[in-house]
Amino acid sequence: MRSPALRHVLTHLITPLLMCIGMGLAYMGAFVTPEPHHLPVAVVGAAPKAKVFAQTVKDTAGDKLDVRTVTTRADAVGLLKSREVTGAYVPSAEAPELLVASAASDMGATAVEKVFMPVAAEEGVPLKVTDVAEPVADDPTGQGLFFLLIAVSIGSYASVAALGAAGAGLAMRIRALLALGVAAVVSGIGALLAGPVFHLAHHDLAGVWGMAWLYSAGILLIGVGLHTFLKRWTTLTMMVLFVMLNFTSSGGLFRPELQNGFFGTLHAFWNGAGFVEGIRSLLYFADDGLARNVWTLAAWLLAGVAVTALAALHEHSRRPHHHRAHPDAERQSEPAATEEAEKADEEAEAELEETVGV
């Protein structure tokens, strides 16, 4: 290609076009056709009739449902509050009842209602739906935590370009410390949004801040470390890791039982799922499952520390080699040095624009 300027433009178009493809595949693959896959439900009753009914529901639904029986209604409530089941049906000829926990997943509760509404209709009686774990009135669908995830994620991965590109002249330890500081600011913004601004969290706001910091710090350290190796491709990589795969597997809109196996599997260990499910545990389920989600976020933070350490070693090993290969580099003419600095600034600005544009 004869025109360097045109070649430069076309090269920079690769990233947004790949983002377009990736976002389309990820979001549409995860959200367009939600269907139950082994959705866990319970039928309450100790009599043989209840077991026969449960087996009938299972045979009818096939792989869409995993059906178990529990002896008492209290047992069913316990399973819902530990998020082991999405719904529990209490059979009755006069007043059948469906128990759900919409704070765990509003979409999951709706899916369970669609399963058992026709069952009650066949009996000619209305179905009573009881929500044993409702989200706060300020977040009636419980999806506010998903949008909190988006806000904290954008603040984190967008800051990587500033720390990695614009801060490339700083020592890695300085960039790492800045990343931890930025994580504190981003998580503070997240806590303000979750608490005083939108009232998603009516208690344990300090815990929300702590989980947001773990989540944000992990992303920032991974990004700052990767930038050493990937340079301008860091933005695309961060988008894949912390948007395309992260938002879609977080469980913020659809629980893994309503998604295909790929996103359902990611939900078990991805950091976005750890963040969303951990805050749900903190706010609605008496810390049930909180420790596991905190460990998930801590593992991602440790991964960030490892990537950053590798990047520091890589930069340190290249520095002496650079001086040996160019012994008179320090005597470089001022115009050449200025031109090199301007080129670096242009590359950093282009990377920042790509990130902000997303």
- pLDDT digits 0-9 by tens, 230-279: 988 998 999 999 999 999 999 999 999 999 889 999 999 999 999 999 99
The percent of residues in the chain predicted with pLDDT above 70, rounded, is 89
pTM: 0.87
- pLDDT digits 0-9 by tens, 21-36: 999 999 899 988 888 9
97-100/128-131 β-pairing: parallel
CB atoms within 10 A of CB 329: 11
Cα–Cα distance measured from residue 149 to residue 280, given in angstroms and rounded to the nearest whole number? 12
91, 43 in Cβ contact below 8 A? Answer: yes
Reduced to 3 states (helix: H, G, I; strand: E, B; else coil), residue 289 is coil
Integer angstrom CA distances of residue 274 from 33, 247, 291: 24, 11, 10
- pLDDT digits 0-9 by tens, 88-122: 999 988 889 999 999 999 999 999 999 899 888 88
Q: Which of 12-21, 162-171, 216-225, 320-329 has the lowest mean pLDDT?
A: 320-329
**Helices and strands: H and E segment counts in the chain:** 13, 5
